[in-house]
Structure 1
Amino acid sequence: MTSSLPDSPDGSVPDPNPLFRLTEEQLRRRTGAKWQRHPPDVLPLWIAEMDVPLPGPVARALTEAVALGDTGYATGIGYAEAVDAFAVKRWNWPVPAERTAMVADIMTGLVELVRLVAGPGDTVVVSPPVYPPFYGFLRNAGLRVAEAPLDPAGRLDAAALAAAFRRGPAAYVLCSPHNPTGTVHTAGELAELARLAGRYGVRVIADEVHAPLVLPGARFVPYLTVPGAETAFSLVSASKAWQLAGAKAALAVAGPGAAGDLARLPEEVSHGPSHLGVIAHIAAFRHCDDWLDTLLAGLDGNRGLLAGLLAEHLPRVRCRPPEGGYLAWLDCRELELGEDPAGVFLDRGRVAVTAGRYFGTGGAGHVRLAFATPPPLLAEAVRRLGRAAGG
């Protein structure tokens, strides 16, 4: 594995596959949660982070800002304009700045948008297995959480949605692409969701943070482009696709029928984004298309590598190849490791993955594995999982 660093400041060195850029030794020097939560003999594939260096344009934008002392408060519509340019180019989705608002991050934005359309004690529906913080953040905001589980194929279940919506919830949180399954919802599935939401008066808020990471073979459809989604909201960010979770910033986008609601967003919410985060995210959306395309090719390669490794070392584990993102949802029930195979994998194999039970109904006996890591580390991790399972 090569041991190179991010692009030179003058941009003279092109980015190769980001997943081949860093060694385990370099990664263990990182001070964030992924590489510091567990002891140094553990391979961490648990949190939704990538083991890649920053794209050159992002690193340069941050370096220039620090050199200038440009570390004040975030302002302006530069973030919205950058997202608009990217979304038009990638998905034919215009994002008018007047229907946007900067927020600190996806989850902060989600809570603030839900508060625009729901009151204390109201119900918000999610589709498990789904990103665990949805439950915690919504409940902490004084809301009830109901479930409309995915179908056995890991896709939106129209019957389950209809049953949940008939009970009169205020809102539905769409995870698109879906975390942890990697499902990329089709235009038809999203249109049916919009139809049901309109019929029952449910407001939809789409977490689309993984949208730039849709892999070959699938196509991302922005929810706000679907007929009937005019009163919905979307949340987008560069945090996942360009490894910027620690550089806080995100954008809330309102459909044309929700612009009035977004205008009621408290002014102080816009104080949350980090100015350095906004600078980094603008650089990512505006100047890092080539880097992203190279990354996607690398993630596609890792997706195939993981499938082969599972077949060799964990043949009783079932995993549908994810259509988007870098998260694999592993059904470990045939291994007979109990409801918490993640604990067994950590104790016996020294590999950290995320326990499925945190993802709501349908999660027990599963684990989520983040495969955005150098291929040699991915291979070693799956070999360890196989030994831990007695394979």
Structure 2
Amino acid sequence: MQDPNNFTNFANRSSSKWRRFPEEVLPMHVAEMDFDVAKPIRDRLSQMVANSDLGYQGPFPEIGPAFGGFALNRWGWKVEPGGIKLASDVAAAAVEILKAVTTPGEKVLINSPVYTAFFGWLKEAECEPVDAPLQLDGDTWKLDLAAIREQFENGVKVYLLCSPQNPVGRIHSAQELTEIALMAQEFDVLVISDEIHAPLSWGPFTPYLSLGQHAIETGVTITSSSKGWNTAGLKAGFLITQSDQVRNKLSRLPDAMQWRSSILGAHAMVAAYESGTPWLDETVIILQENLEHLRHEVATRLPRAKMFQMEATYLAWIDLEAYRISDLAKTILSEAKVSVIAGPDHSPQDDFKGFIRFNFASSKPRITEAVRRISELCEG
């Protein structure tokens, strides 16, 4: 599949990851893997280009059975194929859902630290984030169910859930999600569950809509194969609903969503879900090995740093607060020549100033070099 120890193989790529910063900067920021794309996807795309099959994306019944088969085999989730609606990507799906169900200025619940783009989505939809921060229990970040209930009681009607949680790599338990579904039904809250990282789980992942009637009547899932199979540039995703209650809430969604998706991206998703599981399984193993390598490097070179329990994703949440470096991510970029995502970008209140998000879906030599450079800055 891929050579996980290749240090130089990807420097000739043209995506933003490789062009945003000067060549001497190690790019460990954006969520993109330094691995080859799965052969079934590459073959499908090559065939389409060879056939000049590059027109507008129209009705696409293939996605339902493809994702449905994958979800059933992977998680035991029986998906209703008719409840799937294409979008250009997960971000576009989220924004359109928010626009359809909120009014300008309405509050939407999030749990910090959370994916930085959530705040851009809320701003585009003219919504305001309200936070029920994750709580640290030992070395595990968990949902604060009491705080979530309090916000529902205060009148919040939309909850943007990150599952698994980016950047902490937590898989929310079935028990936690069931309690959320029950509360959402009690307070008539719509749960938008962003599950794009779910395929990259090595713990037992539970899809929100698999939890029974309470979840089905309160939830809409947004997802894509783009994160799991490293094809973000193909621009295709989808949303899933399984109840008339939720579909009625989403009745204002524009029909144009499907037309704005990419025909290449749509077919790449089908190839991933139908034929990409061996590649995915191998990739998840490599990610776990890379995480252990990162933990070793951090423990050895940055002994005052803290890392946390992870069950999914390739994005490590690292606490460097003990080193007392101001403007941490910017300083790491300018002095250590490593790009990471700043901790405060994951909070509406600019919290987590001593944290960084670090992408370890790379080669082990690249991980080692990035940690070495950061340690020289921090340890002096």
* TM tier relative to shorter chain: over 0.9
**Counterpart contact for 2:163–2:172, Cα < 8 Å:** yes
Residues 348-377 of structure 1 deviation map (CA, whole Å, 9 limit, x = unaligned): 211111111111044221100000001111
**DSSP-derived class of the 1:235 partner:** strand
**DSSP-derived class of the 1:27 partner:** coil
| Alpha-carbon offset, residue 265 of structure 1 | 2.3
Mapped partners of 1:238, 1:169: distance in 2: 30
Given the alignment, which residue of 368, 371, 375 partners 2:357? 368
**DSSP-derived class of the 2:160 partner:** strand
User: Which residue matches 1:326?
Assistant: 314
**Counterpart contact for 1:212–1:241, Cα < 8 Å:** yes
**DSSP-derived class of the 1:368 partner:** strand
Paired amino acid for 2:33: M
Residues 258-310 of structure 1 deviation map (CA, whole Å, 9 limit, x = unaligned): 23344542211111111011111111111111111110110010011111111
User: Which residue matches 2:304?
Assistant: 316
Given the alignment, which residue of 147, 165, 168 partners 2:131? 147
User: Which residue matches 1:115?
Assistant: 99
**Counterpart contact for 1:86–1:285, Cα < 8 Å:** yes
Superposition pairs for residues 194-273 of structure 1, below 5 Å? 194-215=181-202, 218-227=203-212, 228-230=214-216, 231-256=218-243, 257-262=245-250, 264-273=252-261
1:350 aligns with 2:334: no
Q: Which stretches in structure 2 are left out of the alignment for 5+ residues?
A: none
**Counterpart contact for 2:302–2:379, Cα < 8 Å:** no
Superposition pairs for residues 270-289 of structure 1, below 5 Å? 270-289=258-277
Mapped partners of 1:49, 1:33: distance in 2: 10
Question: Quick one: structure 1 residues 18 and 254, their matched pair in 2 at CA, closer, same or farther if it must change by over 3 Å?
Answer: farther
Residues 98-147 of structure 1 deviation map (CA, whole Å, 9 limit, x = unaligned): 11100110011011122332222221111011111111121221112111
State the Cα RMSD in Å.
1.4
**Counterpart contact for 2:95–2:125, Cα < 8 Å:** yes
**DSSP-derived class of the 1:152 partner:** strand
**DSSP-derived class of the 2:295 partner:** helix
**DSSP-derived class of the 2:233 partner:** coil
Given the alignment, which residue of 272, 286, 291 partners 1:298? 286
User: Which residue matches 2:36?
Assistant: 53
User: Which residue matches 2:25?
Assistant: 42
Residues 50-102 of structure 1 deviation map (CA, whole Å, 9 limit, x = unaligned): 00111111111100000000001113111222111110110111221211100
Mapped partners of 1:187, 1:18: distance in 2: 35
| Alpha-carbon offset, residue 330 of structure 1 | 0.6
Question: Quick one: structure 1 residues 72 and 209, their matched pair in 2 at CA, closer, same or farther if it must change by over 3 Å?
Answer: same
Mapped partners of 2:27, 2:152: distance in 1: 38
Mapped partners of 2:359, 2:127: distance in 1: 30
**Stretch of structure 1 that moved more, 309-318 or 248-257:** 248-257
**DSSP-derived class of the 2:86 partner:** strand
Mapped partners of 1:376, 1:56: distance in 2: 25
User: Which residue matches 1:9?
Assistant: none
Aligned length: 371
User: Which residue matches 2:328?
Assistant: 341
User: Which residue matches 1:78?
Assistant: 62
**Counterpart contact for 2:100–2:251, Cα < 8 Å:** no
Paired amino acid for 2:171: V
Mapped partners of 2:310, 2:231: distance in 1: 22
Mapped partners of 1:336, 1:265: distance in 2: 47
Residues 219-240 of structure 1 deviation map (CA, whole Å, 9 limit, x = unaligned): 1000011241122100110111
User: Which residue matches 1:3?
Assistant: none
Paired amino acid for 1:169: V
User: Which residue matches 1:10?
Assistant: none
Mapped partners of 2:275, 2:144: distance in 1: 38
Given the alignment, which residue of 68, 91, 101 partners 2:75? 91
Mapped partners of 1:317, 1:196: distance in 2: 37
User: Which residue matches 1:183?
Assistant: 170
Paired amino acid for 1:188: Q
**DSSP-derived class of the 1:145 partner:** strand
**Counterpart contact for 2:78–2:210, Cα < 8 Å:** no
What percent of counterpart residues are identical? 35
Mapped partners of 1:71, 1:127: distance in 2: 40
**DSSP-derived class of the 1:131 partner:** coil
**DSSP-derived class of the 2:161 partner:** strand
Superposition pairs for residues 98-137 of structure 1, below 5 Å? 98-137=82-121
Q: TM-score, normalised by structure 1?
A: 0.92
**Counterpart contact for 2:98–2:125, Cα < 8 Å:** no
Mapped partners of 2:70, 2:120: distance in 1: 31
